[in-house]
Chain A
Amino acid sequence: MAPMLEAWANVIVSGLIIGGIYAVVAVGLNLQYGLMRILNVAHGEFLMVGAYLTFWGTTLIGTSPHLLMPAVFVVLAVTGFALHAVLFRPLARVAPNPEVFEARGLIVSFGLMFIVQNAALLAWDADLRGGQGSLEAVRLGTLVVNGDKLLACAIALAVGGAMILWLRLTLVGKAVRALMQSPVGATLVGIDVRVLHPLVFGVGLGLAGLAGALISTFYTISPSIGQPYTVTALIVITLGGFGSVSGSLIGGVLLGVIEAVGVELTSPSLKMLLSYLVFVAVLIARPNGLFAR
């Protein structure tokens, strides 16, 4: 009985840890969609870029990946700010209505996905890199946990918590939340949407880069790792509800546990099938998220 329990505890804990990372993978995308109705399917590609920046940074400069993370965040946030100004603002200007903007924005981000992924392939070829990790395994009671993953999860949850605080306590954050509720709300708060949109798009990309940096500390990376994470982010958002940051945190952890338990009960080859099953089922039955009223 006891070994059995312990095995399950191991499964759940590893699910929780990877779920914490999933949460931060999804938060940025969800902010962007919730605020601007831009479903940036290139999200995973920017995650991949963040992973590479971290890898090259640590390899070339020789610092710890964790020290590089703020820089990775900033680089991608600035990129996001610029991309919004160059692509999405003009798109919003010419679109006759929000529905059309949403459709075109989706197509534009597919374009971005192609560009970033293949530019990465050109620049860095398809080889697998990194992934050796640097920390010792950690003992939690009788459980043994991968130290790098545990630290990554801790950082991810701290970042998620910081995002929630940012949205709740700062004026800009409150404006974002007001705008997610209703588009007219923002003008009431007195915040200029022309600044807010690029800013949040940048934060979204920065978070993607950060997630990539975290992942690069314990998994090998290649230019094609991005796309599956876009899918992961979509599943998490579906679980937690479009536009809800705390929903994404819960959704990420939930997906991590569902995957871990599901795979334990069936077989590892079923992981993707299982993820998509959850995704499709939730979208069909509860399109506003599991926790919607």
Chain B
Amino acid sequence: MMRAYAPVAVAGVAAALLPGLGSPYVLSLTLTCLMYVALATSWSMFSGATGYISFGTAAFFGLGAYVCAWTLDWLPWPVVILGGAALAAAFAAGTGGMILHLRGTYFAVLTFGLAELVRHAMTYGEKQYAGTVGRMLTEVPSDLVVYYTVLALAVAAVAIAVAVRRSRFGLALAGIGADEQRAETLGVPTRRIKIAGFTLAAAVAGGIGAAMAVRWTYIEPLAVFNPFIGLQTVLIAMIGGAGSIAGPVVAAILFSLIAEYLRLQFPYAYMIALGLLLILSMLYLPNGLAGLWRRAGRVNR
């Protein structure tokens, strides 16, 4: 059990020391890694455990980014981040009550629709009230501050995932994933648990959105509500193994590295490779990387 977290801990320490050693390029690459570590880990914590596959991460991320755009000038940085997390969480709690009675594909499709709805609503709202669709960020915190913020969020996401897994709350989520109705007849207040899990995952994504927003100097809905953010989060978690904690972390790092190298030079080939990888992993590695090393462990024993 502990051994599985060891590589994660090592990676965390390495990431913390990195700003002293690495070039700005390495730093920015690591930042992307950390962002997806946080998103995929918090996603797995809820969606991986319960089977409620959400494509809505982009909505939470984007809301967090907009909180940053609205408040960066007049609120201290930590409050901006917390504000991003809070708005995303509030949105998840509000909509969760309405959508979490749907299961399976219905839920997956609905979260995607909801994220797109938020994006279009934001586009429209900003045009109505601010006159423009996008917003310029002028005074942004230093790269180092952003880096450590995202690192802290990634560490927090992993810590939350570990803590949840060991808690009664985590047990309830696992029960919902195994057989929701059975869990309910054994006394799990499934409605409240689902909303809480959905909200917690959203809070992390909102915080990440707020922190990452400053990487763009110009915030616009198409960028920060990009459905690809939600999609990529799901893919990373699934390829890593949504039932595990270390799996998505490793997958997030691998993905960001591959993406970084391929995406700029061969953008189309990159997406094709991504698609192939997805299909192959569903066919031959349905439990993700985590399933692979679990199987390897069994063979070794």
Contact = CB atoms under 8 A, between A and B. Distances in A.
Main secondary structure of the interface of A (DSSP, over half): helix
Interface in B66-120: 98-99, 102, 104-106, 108-110, 113-114, 116-117, 120
A118 B282 contact: no
Interface string B265-301: 0011101101111110011001000000000000000
Nearest to A121: B268
B105 A272 contact: no
Nearest to B239: A107
Interface stretch (A108-116, A134-142, A206-214, A250-258): A108-116
Interface stretch (A14-22, A149-157, A167-175, A273-281): A273-281
Interface in B256-270: 267-269
Contacts of B49: none
Residue in A33, A114, A273 with the greatest tally of chain B CB atoms within 10 Å: A114
B290 to A, nearest CB: 16
A176 to B, nearest CB: 19
A13 interface: no
Interface in A66-112: 87, 90-91, 94-95, 99-100, 102-104, 106-108, 110-112
A266 B290 CA distance: 50
Contacts of B124: 269-270, 273
A279 to B, nearest CB: 5
A225 interface: no
Given A107-B238, A269-B124, A270-B124, A277 B271 contact: no
A39 interface: yes
Interface string A230-243: 01001000100000
A122 interface: yes
Residue in A103, A107, A119, A287 with the greatest tally of chain B CB atoms within 10 Å: A107
Contact of A94 (B123, B238, B286): B286
Given A113-B275, A114-B271, A90 B114 contact: no
Contacts of B275: 110-115, 118
Contacts of A107: 234-235, 238, 278, 282
Contacts of A117: 271
Contact of A231 (B98, B104, B116, B277): B116
A284 interface: yes
A234 B286 contact: no
A39 B114 CA distance: 18
Interface string B27-68: 000000000000000000000000101000000000000000
Contacts of A94: 283, 286
B109 to A, nearest CB: 6
A87 B279 contact: yes
B159 interface: no
Contacts of B272: 114-115, 118-119, 122
B268 A118 contact: yes
Contact of A118 (B98, B271, B277): B271
Contacts of B271: 114-115, 117-118
Given A111-B275, A118-B268, A270-B124, A99 B113 contact: no
Contacts of B105: 33, 37, 39, 102-103, 106
A94 B235 CA distance: 19
A103 B104 contact: yes
Contact of A91 (B51, B99, B267, B283): B283
A273 B117 contact: yes
A11 to B, nearest CB: 21
B121 interface: yes
Contacts of B274: 111, 114
A284 B98 contact: yes
A283 interface: yes
Contacts of B99: 283-284
Interface string A258-293: 000000000001101100110110011001000000
B231 interface: yes
B86 to A, nearest CB: 23
A42 B142 CA distance: 41
A121 B271 CA distance: 11
Given A37-B105, A118-B271, A231-B116, A284 B278 contact: no
Contacts of B117: 273, 276-277, 279-280
Nearest to B227: A227
Contact of B278 (A108, A122, A276): A108
A121 B276 CA distance: 16
B256 to A, nearest CB: 17
Q: Which 8 A-B pairs have the closest CB atoms?
A: A114-B275, A111-B278, A115-B275, A273-B120, A276-B117, A111-B279, A111-B275, A118-B271
Interface of B: 51, 53, 98-99, 102, 104-106, 108-110, 113-114, 116-117, 120-121, 123-124, 127, 231, 234-235, 238, 267-269, 271-272, 274-279, 282-283, 286
22 contacts: A91-B282, A94-B286, A95-B286, A104-B282, A106-B108, A107-B282, A108-B283, A111-B282, A112-B279, A114-B272, A115-B276, A115-B279, A118-B267, A118-B268, A276-B117, A276-B120, A280-B113, A280-B114, A283-B99, A283-B102, A283-B113, A284-B98
Given A37-B105, A91-B282, A273-B117, 14 more contacts: A39-B108, A102-B104, A103-B104, A106-B53, A108-B278, A108-B279, A117-B271, A231-B113, A270-B124, A276-B116, A277-B117, A279-B113, A283-B99, A284-B98
